[in-house]
Amino acid sequence: MDGAKYFYICSTKQLMRKLLIILISVFFSLTSMAQEIERAKSNLPVISGSLAVLNNVTGWVLQDNGSWLGKKNKILLYSSEQNLNADPLYKLGRQNFKQLELREVLIGDEQYIVLINEYTDGYFEFPELRQNFHKTENAHYIVFHADKLNEILNQASLFNEPLAINLDIFCSDDIINFDKKLLITQIAYNILRVAKMEKPSKFTMILAVMPTIVNGEKLFRFRYINLYNQESIYQKYLLPANKNRLFESSYFEVPYQKFIDFLGAADVQKTNFNLLDPNSFTDFYKRGALRYKRKNYEGALSDFRAALKLKPDTKFWYIYALMGSTLHQQKNYNAAIRSFEKALLIKPKDTQQKQAWIRNYYNLGLSYLMLNDKANACSNFQIAKFQGLDDKDALKTIKKTCRGKYKIHK
């Protein structure tokens, strides 16, 4: 064989091997990356839907000419001259928002609040000439512990008493020209990232509030102040000596009940048990019930099993009922059926528990229905109905499901 030809063939084979190795390496790298992304998605904290929105308040500012100026959802500038100027950046004011939105999220087993501020900002392409203004639609969000809402609401009846609270935020970010479809996912990823870092936030927010009465109308005044999370910076806002200065020059104002409803939209859970380190049947059951309510089904099931391990002969039927509902949510219908059947073996003596206990028959029927066992589903639906199930939606489901040969007769 010609030497040059032989060398060419060998070189080509070696090149093909190298390309194959590179392709395999890239494939496994991409596969690994995809797995990491999927793992991250599965570990993302679940942020609730919108609980409440505030989008119609009045912003007030004391101008340098001594007059107060009000504007919808906006605190204008201190300079009366600038407020009359057509400059687009001046018109945005010191603070503005399109809406404030309240959501909640679980971080571990702790309840947190997500407050999202959608606002307008902008910049000049040529700042010196103040020409070519570009408007941006932004979202600033903060995540803070739900207990802070109780601190505010506990002061809601103290009229004309200014209060400043450090929200001691868990994390925050400012997203310029945000995409509404991606916003909640972006927040969830940031929460996950900060939770893994276990470092305090670089920023915090002081929320100043004051219920007041003006001309017989109950109102709520509030301000939010974004600051570096350094005591030397934020402490002055919290000093009792400075509280009367909190609202002396600017604030937002909203009807009293509207603000109370906004903050009260989050159902802040008060726990009377050891949430972080349960060590009794009752503590495990209560945490499991709380986890179930918050849709942490894996955690709930773990707690119910831990409780039953401590007290396997319990006559507390609720735990089997909730365990059945948890397993049903996990689509483990056969196991859910066994749990509901155990709950039904423990008939309560307390008549006040009767309605809740009867529902086990209905839930048992639902699990059978998910297994396409209509006969057993309608059989249990029939028992639930005849025993006095008092739930309009459940009775509609029974009527819709059990037709023809499965029809429930009176």
Contact criterion met (CB below 8 Å) for 49 and 103: yes
| Neighbouring residues of 84: CB distance < 8 A, sequence distance ≥ 6 | none
Residue 12 is encoded by which pair of tokens? 């080509």
Higher pLDDT, 13 or 200: 200
User: Domain for residue 242, yes or no?
Assistant: yes
248 and 328: one domain? no
Dihedrals φ, ψ of 142, to 5°?
-130, 150
Return d(Cα 253, Cα 218) in angstroms, integer: 10
245 and 123: one domain? yes
Contact criterion met (CB below 8 Å) for 367 and 337: yes
Please tell me the predicted confidence (pLDDT) of residue 273. Answer: 67
319 and 256: one domain? no
Contact criterion met (CB below 8 Å) for 294 and 106: yes
CA 99 to each of CA 56, 72, 141, 209: distance values in angstroms, whole numbers, following the listed order = 8, 11, 12, 18
Q: What's the domain range around 158?
A: 52-264
User: Domain for residue 42, yes or no?
Assistant: no
Return d(Cα 365, Cα 378) in angstroms, integer: 6
80 and 152: one domain? yes
Return d(Cα 248, Cα 250) in angstroms, integer: 6
User: Domain for residue 362, yes or no?
Assistant: yes
332 and 242: one domain? no
User: Domain for residue 145, yes or no?
Assistant: yes
Name residue 227's beta-bridge partners: 204
User: Domain for residue 204, yes or no?
Assistant: yes
pTM equals 0.71
User: Domain for residue 100, yes or no?
Assistant: yes
- Token pair 């996912």 is found at 185
Report the CATH number at residue 384.
Answer: 1.25.40.10
**In b/e form, how buried is each residue of 206-241, taking b as 16+ CB within 10 angstroms?**
bbbbbbbeeeeeebbbbbbeeeebeeeebeebeeee
- The residue out of 264, 290, 325 marking a domain boundary is 264
User: Domain for residue 284, yes or no?
Assistant: no
Q: How confident is the model at residue 277 (pLDDT cuts 50, 70, 90)?
A: confident
The pLDDT tens digits of the residues spanning 332-390 come to: 999 999 999 999 999 998 888 999 999 999 999 999 999 999 999 999 999 999 999 98
The pLDDT tens digits of the residues spanning 290-326 come to: 889 878 899 999 999 999 999 999 999 999 999 999 9
320 and 202: one domain? no
- The residue out of 199, 234, 264 marking a domain boundary is 264
320 and 207: one domain? no
Name residue 215's beta-bridge partners: none
Helix 297-310 / helix 281-293 crossing angle, nearest 10 deg: 160
252 and 135: one domain? yes
Please tell me the predicted confidence (pLDDT) of residue 13. Answer: 53
The pLDDT tens digits of the residues spanning 30-49 come to: 444 444 434 445 578 889 89
User: Domain for residue 6, yes or no?
Assistant: no
235 and 104: one domain? yes
Give the total number of structural domains in the chain: 2
- The residue out of 264, 279, 301 marking a domain boundary is 264
209 and 355: one domain? no
250 and 143: one domain? yes
Residue 324 is encoded by which pair of tokens? 């059945």
128 and 194: one domain? yes
Contact criterion met (CB below 8 Å) for 243 and 163: yes
